[in-house]
Amino acid sequence: MKTLVVILTFLALPVSACPVIMDISGEKDAMLERLATATDYSSAQRAVNAIWRYWHTAPDAQAQEWFDEGVERIRQADLTKANAVLTSLVEYCPDYAEGHNQLAFAQFLGNDFEASEQTLKRAMALEPRHFGAIAGMGLIAHQRGNLALAKIWIKKAVAVHPFLNERFILDIPEDVDAL
């Protein structure tokens, strides 16, 4: 009977959930504006570093643990584990855009372009100016052989991050409006 009481008590406890992501949209907007208006690589890189620090800060300790492990698994090319850990992260924190972006990156590296594209769409729905996710869509289009679509996506990413490295990989001209 004591075991049954313990089990029922445990089942009555609330399931832990990801906390609401703190709204610092004003700060984020300022960082993205500094990036979009950067006139040189150095100032753009400072803005990019601040943005990535913001995006790489998960909503709580559990989410941060999964995020850090997922990123490390990607670095180690352990894509099966990266996918599992990052899937746990986005299930726990479905509104954490960078969790989706990192999962999409692991999927992309594993050549699962369909899954990666769907995951990137979720990241962009949460963070429409996520230049990494936008560029990721361009890289998927490029991998699929659709250079015209790849350039469209990269042009959108460059509008947010004018010094984006992917523009050079895809040989996007300095004047992206010429596309």
Mean pLDDT of 70-77: 98
pLDDT at 165: 86
d(CA 5, CA 72): 41
Residue with tokens 């990156």, as numbered in its chain: 105
* Nearest residue to 165 via CA among 156, 153, 157: 157
* Nearest residue to 58 via CA among 112, 109, 99: 99
Give the count of beta carbons closer than 10 Å to the beta carbon of residue 2. Answer: 6
Residue with tokens 């969790």, as numbered in its chain: 99
pLDDT at 3: 43
* Confidence label for 27 from pLDDT (cuts 50, 70 and 90): confident
- Output DSSP code: residue 78: -
Lowest model confidence (mean pLDDT) among 11-25, 54-68, 134-148: 11-25
pLDDT at 166: 82
pLDDT at 174: 54
Confidence (pTM): 0.83
Q: Count CA within 13 A, CB hemisphere, residue 142.
A: 18
Residues 6+ apart with CB under 8 A from 155: 172, 176, 179
Rounded to 5 degrees, what angle do the CA atoms 152, 130, 127 make? 115
pLDDT(81) > 60:
yes
Q: Tens of pLDDT along 112-141? A: 999 999 999 999 999 999 999 999 999 999
Average pLDDT, the chain: 86
pLDDT at 43: 93
pLDDT at 4: 41
